[in-house]
Amino acid sequence: MNSPITGIRSWPQDDRPREKLLKKGAESLSNSELLAILLRTGVKGLSAIDLARRIVDRFGTFRNMIHTDMREWKEFKGLGPAKLAQIQAALEIGRRFREVEILNGKQKISSARDVVNIIMPQMRDLKTEVFKVIYLNSNNKIIEISDAASGTVNHAVPIVREIIHAALQKFAAAIICVHNHPSANISPSPEDKKFTQEVTAAGKLMDIKVLDHIIIGDDAFYSFAEEGVMG
């Protein structure tokens, strides 16, 4: 049983996370309080808010939680698969909400930084290399952002023909290729350079502009276009 000191039911009603949210709005809650609502109940010896505080102290931010290996959660005794699934689902909903807002607004891409602001939050913490393609219309507004390939920790193999074929199917006028380096070293590899040359050449043949190839690191990026080496 939870002790009376940590039991949420013993708190004044206005201090309980759920009641506080309904009365004052979600923005009034701390990260620990928001997490406690997701957890719903605590574990032996800890209330939901105490457990939430320990989780926040351990990981620091919601960003750190979303890409953390599940083995690191095992130190929280009593935190089972159901609670972990609730946390991960909520974090993913938040990430996807950001993507939907961008796509619904048909954001226009004017620079590599515009791309990075969209892509960085979902790619900077990935443990494996993932390759994405941003398909743009003739006004450089986003049609779609799609995964093109995923690989091991340091290698993904995007297929040029499939990327160009997808662009034609989506009636895209231009594309931007993006992938991450889990090592956080944003310097392009020889394979990155070779791919950039090949996809640019294929795009010219099919009248599809390849505007950039961007490598994402940890809060840093490399843009082939900005470096003037698009091939």
Whether residues 136 and 71 fall in one domain? no
Separation of alpha carbons 179 and 132, rounded Å: 6
Question: What pLDDT band is residue 222 in, cutting at 50, 70 and 90?
Answer: very high
- Render pLDDT for 61-99 as a digit per residue (tens, 0 to 9): 887 787 677 778 878 887 888 888 888 888 888 777 766
Last residue of a domain, one of 35, 65, 99: 99
Last residue of a domain, one of 99, 118, 144: 99
Query: Does residue 128 have a pLDDT over 50?
Result: yes
Whether residues 85 and 123 fall in one domain? no
Query: Does residue 153 have a pLDDT over 80?
Result: no
**First-residue to last-residue Cα distance in the chain:** 66
What's residue 15's pLDDT? Answer: 57
Give me the amino acid identity at 73.
W
Domain that holds residue 30: 8-99
Whether residues 211 and 162 fall in one domain? yes
Within 13 A of 73's CA, how many CA atoms are on the CB side?
A: 19
Does residue 230 sit within a domain? no
50-54, 70-74, 141-145: least confident range:
70-74
Query: pTM for the whole thing?
Result: 0.65
Q: Which two tokens stand for residue 210?
A: 């390849």
Separation of alpha carbons 127 and 170, rounded Å: 30
Whether residues 135 and 209 fall in one domain? yes
What's residue 27's pLDDT? Answer: 83
